[in-house]
Amino acid sequence: MTGDLDDEGTLFSLSNTNITTDEFVGYIHSKGHIHPTLGSPFGTGLTNHFTPQFKRLAAFQGDYVFNGTRRFFLQHTSKTQNTWSWLGKRGKSTPVLGASDGNEVDIWFPSANSTDFAGVDALINFINTLDPNHSGTKANASQTVFWPKWNTSTSDGSPSHLTFSDPDVVNVTSENFRVDVMQFLLGLLLKEASG
């Protein structure tokens, strides 16, 4: 089981300066993070600009460091073992940060007042049986959403992952977001690692 939050890069980009070198701007224009509405926090339009380049830098950092490497890991490990992936979109309304690092705590460790235990049930099941869908006991068999393995294709042919959205919505979605951008970033990462 592995996953990320939709806006992983926002918290880590707060300290970035307003970088606008020609090389980075060229990358942005060629790979899709051209307009601030396509930046992180994703799906928030023109809101949440901390600096003029913040959403672009946060998108780059989140995809390069988190989402892209998770996807690369799953592409390789799913060939030889069972893998499950999740995406956290809870907290999208948080100004500037969106669904950022730390928002996953309530998914895996809900408060006593919570009505959503899908994440923690899946985690307990996985710890006991190496499968988030199967409980070792009937006491923890309350899973309401079947979590398909990552390499299970969705209707569009993309891998599947479990998505946690507001308010306490859990569903299976396609991992088909920013594919070209992440492939490019993985190429950069592999090039950097090899040489």
The share of the chain scoring above pLDDT 90, in percent, equals 50
What's the pLDDT at 19?
65
Q: Which helix (H) or strand (E) holds 13?
A: helix 8-13
What's the pLDDT at 73?
95
What's the pLDDT at 191?
85
Q: Are 148 and 160 in contact (CB under 8 A)?
A: yes
pTM of the full predicted structure?
0.86
Cα 147–148–152 angle (5° rounding)?
Answer: 160
Q: Per residue in 117-157, pLDDT tens?
A: 899 999 999 999 999 999 877 665 556 789 999 999 988 98
Q: Per residue in 49-75, pLDDT tens?
A: 878 788 888 998 999 899 999 999 999
Indicate if the pLDDT at residue 28 is higher than 70.
Answer: no
Reported as a pLDDT band with limits 50, 70 and 90, residue 38 is: confident
Q: Which residues contact 156 (CB under 8 A, 6 or more apart)?
A: 174, 176
Round to whole Å and give the CA distance between 133 and 147.
6
**What ranges do the domains of the chain cover?**
2-194
Q: Per residue in 172-192, pLDDT tens?
A: 999 999 888 888 888 888 888
Query: From edge to edge, which strands make up the β-sheet containing 85-88?
Result: 2-5, 85-88, 160-165, 169-174
Q: What is the mean pLDDT of residues 17-41?
A: 67
Q: Per residue in 70-90, pLDDT tens?
A: 999 999 999 999 999 999 999
Q: What is the Cα 75 distance to its own chain's centre?
A: 15
